[in-house]
Amino acid sequence: MEVSAKTLIDQRPISQLQYATIIICFLMNMLDGMDVLVISYAAPAIAKNWGIGPEAMGVVFSSGLFGMTFGALFLAPYADLIGRKTMILISAAIMGISIYLTSFSTGILPLIVFRFISGLGIGSMLASTAALAAEYTPNKSRDFWVSFVISGYPVGAVLSGLVAARIIPISGWQTMFQIAGVTTFLALPLIQFSLTESLDFYLKSHPARALDKANNILGKMGHSLIDALPHKPAKGNGIPIKSLLDNEYKIPTIQLWTALFLSFATLYFLTSWIPKLATNAGLPIELAIYAGTIFNVGAFFGITAQGYLSSRFGLKRTIGLFLIMTGVVMAAFQLFMGSSTLLLVFALLGFGIQGGFVGLYAVAARMYPTEFRTTGVGWSIGIGRLGGIIGPAVGGVLIGMGLSMVTNFLIYAVPTIFAGIMTMYISSKKIS
């Protein structure tokens, strides 16, 4: 009888090896959060030092987002050929080197280039860690653990923001990029010597010495060793992108991409405009500075709560309700204008929108098989990132037309609620 990694992992309690994999993936996403947000924290100092306007910095922000999109779409899928661990290692190296070198930028062009390159690593890192976490966790708690791993992103964003607030005024923005680059680069030994490759990858992809490596993992997890690898599924050459739109995966893939595109559009609209939203809504500038941090604190609790609730009440239903709730709060934003509870509202928005869209990563990790799981997760993230590029830009146009922040919130409530409804109707039989 052929052995299945999924069956083996469901048979026993989570082992130390699995917990170690989860923790390392969580830490890698903390680095992701730090490396994404470091440019936002440094932007005011860069603009002041170089005498450049917001339009130029907007190009820098966009280059990072384009890099993340390309990384998720075109780099992450190679994890299905070379392994999740190898791709995580490559992603961390790209991030660490490019972010450190960013500190030597003396003009806008190298800054744009380095942000694009670091975005490649960031985009592929997120997809690879989500896939690896899904493959090392039991079926009944998988949604929680995938969401927990991705919750490292807002944790890294918050912690790096606290560090940046101390470092940049004293030592300059260059020092913050050097710290972020070195910290990321130091993760390479941790990945190489402590992270375990996917058991599913060895059993189904049959790389060199796959049987010995699979048995080594099985022994550490307390399972009996196997005499031979399962039959290798037949598949074509290259990255299996076309499989995402073949046969049973076509309709659920389009539904998932639509929900992620709309969720990302709203998320990046909020994160791009929150400081201005806060001041326009009546908060003093001192409190407005903390609005983004409060948003990310809410995100961490939203992501972990969503993971827990999904394991109890179903993934699609929980995510759908999170997104719909967020849309309702956005539509009712005018009720909180000038209120002392406004910071709590920003926390609630972070709770709902980030808890919801991260849950869609868990949907992707469940929906696709090991043979093209990282490709599926990567392309889902990449399509979502396109929404992340368009969302803030459309918001800027609407604001430029003279529409109020309350009206913008009302407009963006519509795609958020639609994303929630779309999620509830994703037609994959593998997701409850």
Residues 261-311: tens digit of each pLDDT: 999 999 988 876 676 666 666 666 456 656 777 888 888 899 889 988 988
Task: Tell me the range of 190-204, 333-347, 385-399 where mean pLDDT is highest.
Answer: 190-204
Mean pLDDT along residues 78-92 = 92
Cβ atoms of residues 123 and 74 within 8 Å: no
CA-to-CA distance for 334 and 215, rounded, in angstroms?
A: 59
Mean pLDDT along residues 55-60 = 78
pLDDT at position 417: 97
Task: Tell me the range of 148-157, 158-167, 318-327, 345-354 where mean pLDDT is highest.
Answer: 318-327
Mean pLDDT along residues 348-366 = 90
Q: Which of 231, 249, 230, 251 is nearest to 241 (CA)?
A: 249
User: Has residue 236 got a pLDDT over 60?
Assistant: no
pLDDT at position 101: 97
Mean pLDDT along residues 342-368 = 88
pLDDT at position 317: 93
pLDDT at position 394: 81
Confidence of residue 239 (pLDDT cuts 50, 70, 90): low
User: Has residue 123 got a pLDDT over 80?
Assistant: yes
Each residue's pLDDT tens digit, 185-212: 999 999 999 999 999 889 888 888 989 9
Confidence of residue 42 (pLDDT cuts 50, 70, 90): confident
User: Has residue 368 got a pLDDT over 70?
Assistant: yes
Mean pLDDT along residues 383-398 = 82
pLDDT at position 285: 47
User: Has residue 110 got a pLDDT over 90?
Assistant: yes
pLDDT at position 408: 85
What is each CA distance from 126 to 121, 131, 175, 392, 413, in whole angstroms? 9, 9, 25, 21, 26
pLDDT at position 130: 87
> Tokens 């940049």 sit at which residue?
168
Confidence of residue 414 (pLDDT cuts 50, 70, 90): very high
pLDDT at position 4: 67
Mean pLDDT along residues 242-251 = 83
User: Has residue 82 got a pLDDT over 70?
Assistant: yes
Of 273 and 177, which is predicted with more confidence?
177
Total Cβ atoms within 10 A of residue 141: 15
Cβ atoms of residues 153 and 126 within 8 Å: yes
Q: Which of 281, 333, 339, 314 is nearest to 428 (CA)?
A: 314
